[in-house]
Amino acid sequence: MRSALFALALIAAPAWAASDFAYTRKVGAGEAVIDSRPLADCSRASLPGARCLPAEDFLGTSRQLPSARDILWLLGTAGLDGSESVLVVGQDETARDFVAGLLYLAGQKSVRILSEPLRTQGHGAGAARGVVRSTVWTAPMRDRLWVLGADILRNKPALIDARQAKPKSSASGAVVVADDAYQAIARFTQLRAGRGLAVRVDPDGLALAAGSAQ
């Protein structure tokens, strides 16, 4: 993604409300449901009113992200403008957490993640996103949570290796790193939404070479 959208916070990550990014065991009223499963599964059956937004729609062949402009355009094809409170569901936990984290980083007002198994029996098909944008994304991205590999080399923040089940560092502003954006953003979600750690993320897959992750 373009470097202008990966501003490194020079101070600790800003305060954030736990309620705007969290796991839940219930489907809430009035939430826009985002189904992160493969399109074939979502199109077969999903929760009422669900929008199909598979993780693979955001990833290149090496699991790299497209440009910020393309991400926001893609979200617009799903009818999202960022002002919605969304509930992300899915079967594969990593795919679900990746989509949830990307929505949160993009500026989605509120993102909750259904931790319970998705039950679609008796429900209708989810809605596939359009081929053209139906809504313009207007929410500001959470730029302070994105960190570039070059900024890590220069500023040397604490790093958290996404491959480790129990990270050693819990420092505010620590940066989650991985080999690719898919693993990094999914782990960012698990730590920030699941454990309440004020972590940031390097989605470029370059930071593992910057130093020893914790």
pLDDT attached to residue 29:
84
Residue carrying structure tokens 């979502």: 42
Same domain? For 22 and 116 the reply is yes
pLDDT of 171 > 90? The answer is: no
pLDDT attached to residue 205:
67
pLDDT attached to residue 213:
56
Residue 86: helix, strand or coil by DSSP? strand
Same domain? For 197 and 119 the reply is no
The more confident residue out of 212 and 115 is 115
The more confident residue out of 189 and 151 is 189
Same domain? For 45 and 119 the reply is yes
Evaluate whether residue 181 is within a structural domain: yes
Q: How far apart are CA 12 and CA 10, in angstroms?
A: 7
What pTM does this model have?
A: 0.86
Same domain? For 119 and 147 the reply is no
pLDDT tens string 139-162:
999 999 999 878 888 888 889 988
Domain residue limits at 156: 143-209
Same domain? For 197 and 150 the reply is yes
Total of domains in the chain:
2
Same domain? For 45 and 98 the reply is yes
Evaluate whether residue 137 is within a structural domain: no
pLDDT tens string 13-72:
344 445 799 999 988 888 999 999 999 999 999 999 999 999 999 998 888 899 999 999
pLDDT tens string 84-129:
999 999 999 999 999 999 999 999 999 999 998 888 766 889 999 9
Where a domain ends, among 79, 102, 128? 128
CATH number of the structural domain spanning residue 65: 3.40.250.10
Same domain? For 85 and 154 the reply is no
Same domain? For 29 and 70 the reply is yes
Same domain? For 110 and 32 the reply is yes
- Sequence-distant (≥ 6) Cβ neighbours of residue 189 within 8 angstroms: 21, 97, 98, 100, 101, 104, 113
Tell me which amino acid residue 198 is: A
Q: What is the pLDDT averaged over residues 193-206?
A: 88
Same domain? For 47 and 113 the reply is yes
Evaluate whether residue 4 is within a structural domain: no
Burial 126-139 (b: 16+ CB within 10 A, else e): bbebeeebebebeb
Average pLDDT across the chain, whole number: 85
Same domain? For 50 and 109 the reply is yes
